Structure 1
Amino acid sequence: MSIETNAPAAGPIIAATPPVAGGAAPARAAPSPATGAEGTRVADDDTVPPPRAGDPHAPHVAGEAVSTWITKEAGNRRMPFDRARLERSIDRVHAEFPQLDIADYTRSVLGFVERKDAVNADDLVDHLIREAEARVDVTAPEWELFAARLYLHRLYKRASRNRFYDAGEKYGSYVGLQESLADRNIYSNDILRAYSKEELLEAGRMIDPERDRLFAYNGLYLLATRYLATDHARNVYELPQERWLTIALYLMQHEVAPGPGGRERRMQLVGEAYWALSNLYMTVATPTLQNAGKVGGQLSSCFIDTVDDSLQGIFDSNTDIARVSKGGGGVGAYLGYVRSSGSAIRGVPNSSGGVVPWIKQLNNTAVSVDQLGQRKGAVAVYLDIWHRDIEAFLDLRLNNGDQRLRAHDVFTSVCIPDLFMEAVERRGDWYLFDPHEVKRIKGWYLQDFYDETRGQGTFRAKYEEVVADERIARRTVRAIDIFKRIMVSQLETGNPFMFYRDEVNRKNPNKHAGMVYSSNLCTEILQNMSPTRLMQEIISGNQIVTTKQAGDFVVCNLSSVNLGRAVLPPAGQGDLITDVLERLIPIQVRMLDNVIDLNALPVPQATITNRKYRAIGLGTFGWHHLLALKGIDWNSREAEDYSDALYERINFLTVQASMELAKEKGTYSAFAGSDWHTGEYFRARDYNSPQWLELSAQVAVNGVRNGWLMAVAPNMSTAQIAGSTASIDPIYSAFYYEEKKDYRRPVAAPGLSLETWPYYEKGAYKLDQFASVRQNARRQRHVDQSISFNFYVPSTIRASTLLDLHLTAWREGLKTTYYVRSNDIDIAECEWCGS
Structure 2
Amino acid sequence: MPQLVTKPNNRQLEFDEVRLSVYADRILEGLDMLDKERLLRGVLSKLRREEVTGEDISSAFTMSSLELVTKEEPNWKFAAARSLLTTLYKKAAHNRRYKAYSDEPYGALYPLITELVQKGIYRQELLDFYTKEQVEELGKCIDYRHDLLFDYIGLLTLSDRYLANDFEGRVMELPQERYMIIAMFLMHREPAEKRLDLVKEAYWAMSNIYMTAATPTMSNAGKKVAGQLSSCFIDTVDDSLEGIFDSNTDVARLSKMGGGIGVYLGKVRARGSDIRGHKNTSSGVIPWIRQLNNTAVSVDQLGTRKGAVAVYLDVFHKDILAFLDLKLNNGDERMRAHDVFHGICIPDLFMEAVESRGEWSLFCPHEVKKLMNWKDANGRPLGLEDFYDEANGQGTFRDKYAEAVAHPILSRITVQAIDIMKRVMKSQLETGTPYMFYRDTVNRANPNSAHGMVYSSNLCTEIMQNQSATVIESEELVTKDGQTRIVISKVPGDFVVCNLNSIHLARAVPADVLERLIPIQVRMLDNVIDINNIEVLQAQYTNSQYRAVGLGTFGLHHLLALEGIRWESEEAVTYNDNLYEKINYLLVQASMELAKEKGHYAKFQGSDWESGAYFESRGYVDGEHEGKYVTTEQWKALQQQVQSNGVRNAWLFAIAPNGSTSIIAGSTASIDPLYELLSYEEKTTYKIANPAPDLSEKTIWYYKTAFTIDQHWSIDMASARQRHVDQAQSFNLYVRPDIKATEFLELHLHAWKAGLKSTYYVRSRALTIEECESCAS
2:490 is paired with a residue of what secondary structure? strand
* Counterpart position of 1:470: 408
Contact 2:59–2:83, Cα closer than 8 Å, also in 1: no
Residue 220 of structure 2 is aligned with which of 291, 315, 338?
A: 291
Deviation at 1:69, TM superposition (A): 4.0
1:455 maps onto 2:393 in alignment = yes
Letter in 1 for 2:100: A
Contact 2:2–2:52, Cα closer than 8 Å, also in 1: no
Letter in 2 for 1:297: G
Letter in 1 for 2:734: Y
1:108 maps onto 2:42 in alignment = yes
* Counterpart position of 1:21: none
CA RMSD of aligned residues (A): 1.4
Letter in 2 for 1:816: S
1:83 maps onto 2:17 in alignment = yes
1:167 is paired with a residue of what secondary structure? coil
Distance 1:163 1:321, change over 3 A: same
1:708 is paired with a residue of what secondary structure? coil
Letter in 2 for 1:92: R
Please give the residue correspondences for 1:712-751 in structure 2 after superposition, counting only pairs within 5 Å: 712-739=655-682, 741-751=684-694
1:808 maps onto 2:737 in alignment = no
* Counterpart position of 1:5: none
Deviation at 1:373, TM superposition (A): 2.2
1:305 maps onto 2:235 in alignment = yes
Aligned residues: 742
Q: What are the Cα deviations for residues 541-594 of structure 1, in whole angstroms up to 9, with x where unaligned?
A: 32111110000000020000000100013xxxxxxx4xx000000111011101
1:181 maps onto 2:116 in alignment = yes
* Counterpart position of 2:639: 696
Letter in 1 for 2:733: F
Contact 2:8–2:94, Cα closer than 8 Å, also in 1: no
Contact 1:138–1:754, Cα closer than 8 Å, also in 2: no
Residue 568 of structure 1 is aligned with which of 506, 510, 535?
A: 510
Please give the residue correspondences for 1:747-766 in structure 2 after superposition, counting only pairs within 5 Å: 747-760=690-703, 762-766=704-708
Deviation at 1:102, TM superposition (A): 1.5
Letter in 1 for 2:365: P
C-alpha distance in 2 between matches for 1:151 and 1:108:
16
C-alpha distance in 2 between matches for 1:380 and 1:426:
30
1:498 maps onto 2:436 in alignment = yes
Residue 545 of structure 2 is aligned with which of 601, 612, 624?
A: 612
* Counterpart position of 1:344: 274
Letter in 1 for 2:170: N
Deviation at 1:374, TM superposition (A): 1.6
Contact 1:327–1:602, Cα closer than 8 Å, also in 2: no
1:535 is paired with a residue of what secondary structure? strand
Letter in 2 for 1:700: Q
1:772 maps onto 2:714 in alignment = yes
Contact 2:153–2:690, Cα closer than 8 Å, also in 1: no
C-alpha distance in 1 between matches for 2:82 and 2:764:
37
Q: What are the Cα deviations for residues 203-234 of structure 1, in whole angstroms up to 9, with x where unaligned?
A: 11111111111111111111111101110111
C-alpha distance in 2 between matches for 1:404 and 1:546:
34
Letter in 2 for 1:503: T
Residue 314 of structure 1 is aligned with which of 232, 244, 248?
A: 244
Contact 2:77–2:690, Cα closer than 8 Å, also in 1: no
Deviation at 1:738, TM superposition (A): 4.1
1:200 maps onto 2:135 in alignment = yes
* Counterpart position of 1:268: 197
C-alpha distance in 2 between matches for 1:370 and 1:67:
46
C-alpha distance in 2 between matches for 1:307 and 1:195:
43
Deviation at 1:130, TM superposition (A): 1.2
C-alpha distance in 1 between matches for 2:211 and 2:8:
40
Distance 1:712 1:86, change over 3 A: same
Letter in 2 for 1:696: Q
C-alpha distance in 2 between matches for 1:357 and 1:230:
41
C-alpha distance in 1 between matches for 2:211 and 2:430:
35
C-alpha distance in 1 between matches for 2:468 and 2:519:
31
Contact 1:341–1:388, Cα closer than 8 Å, also in 2: yes
Residue 619 of structure 2 is aligned with which of 674, 686, 690?
A: 686
* Counterpart position of 2:284: 354
Letter in 1 for 2:106: Y
Q: What are the Cα deviations for residues 672-709 of structure 1, in whole angstroms up to 9, with x where unaligned?
A: 11000101111110002111111101111111000000
Contact 2:572–2:717, Cα closer than 8 Å, also in 1: yes
Please give the residue correspondences for 1:387-786 in structure 2 after superposition, counting only pairs within 5 Å: 387-443=317-373, 444-541=382-479, 542-569=484-511, 577=512, 580-688=513-621, 689-739=632-682, 741-760=684-703, 762-786=704-728
Please give the residue correspondences for 1:78-157 in structure 2 after superposition, counting only pairs within 5 Å: 79-113=13-47, 115-157=48-90
C-alpha distance in 2 between matches for 1:73 and 1:515:
60
Deviation at 1:754, TM superposition (A): 1.0
Contact 2:255–2:299, Cα closer than 8 Å, also in 1: yes
Give the gaps of 5 or more residues in structure 2. 374-381, 622-631, 768-777
C-alpha distance in 2 between matches for 1:203 and 1:77:
34
Higher mean alpha-carbon deviation, 191-200 vs 679-688, is at 191-200
Contact 1:796–1:824, Cα closer than 8 Å, also in 2: no
Q: What are the Cα deviations for residues 503-527 of structure 1, in whole angstroms up to 9, with x where unaligned?
A: 0000000000000000000000000
Distance 1:556 1:487, change over 3 A: same
Letter in 2 for 1:153: T
Letter in 1 for 2:405: V
Higher mean alpha-carbon deviation, 704-713 vs 364-373, is at 364-373
Q: What are the Cα deviations for residues 277-301 of structure 1, in whole angstroms up to 9, with x where unaligned?
A: 1100001111001111111321000
* Counterpart position of 2:624: none
C-alpha distance in 2 between matches for 1:98 and 1:449:
61
Deviation at 1:96, TM superposition (A): 3.0
Q: What are the Cα deviations for residues 384-420 of structure 1, in whole angstroms up to 9, with x where unaligned?
A: 0010000000000001111111100000100000000
1:324 maps onto 2:254 in alignment = yes
Letter in 1 for 2:690: V
* Counterpart position of 2:106: 171
Letter in 1 for 2:470: T
Percent of residue pairs identical:
59
C-alpha distance in 1 between matches for 2:520 and 2:600:
17
Distance 1:203 1:77, change over 3 A: closer
Contact 2:227–2:302, Cα closer than 8 Å, also in 1: no
Contact 1:83–1:110, Cα closer than 8 Å, also in 2: no
Deviation at 1:723, TM superposition (A): 1.2
1:222 maps onto 2:157 in alignment = yes
TM-score, normalization by structure 1:
0.87
Contact 1:302–1:525, Cα closer than 8 Å, also in 2: no
Deviation at 1:77, TM superposition (A): 6.9
C-alpha distance in 2 between matches for 1:705 and 1:405:
44
C-alpha distance in 1 between matches for 2:540 and 2:183:
22
Distance 1:67 1:293, change over 3 A: closer
1:765 is paired with a residue of what secondary structure? helix
Letter in 2 for 1:304: I
* Counterpart position of 1:50: none
Contact 1:411–1:496, Cα closer than 8 Å, also in 2: yes
Q: What are the Cα deviations for residues 413-455 of structure 1, in whole angstroms up to 9, with x where unaligned?
A: 0000000000000000000111111111113210100001231
1:344 is paired with a residue of what secondary structure? coil
C-alpha distance in 1 between matches for 2:237 and 2:167:
38
Residue 162 of structure 1 is aligned with which of 80, 89, 95?
A: 95
Residue 739 of structure 2 is aligned with which of 790, 793, 797?
A: 797
C-alpha distance in 2 between matches for 1:171 and 1:746:
29
Letter in 2 for 1:352: S
Contact 1:141–1:748, Cα closer than 8 Å, also in 2: yes
Deviation at 1:741, TM superposition (A): 4.7
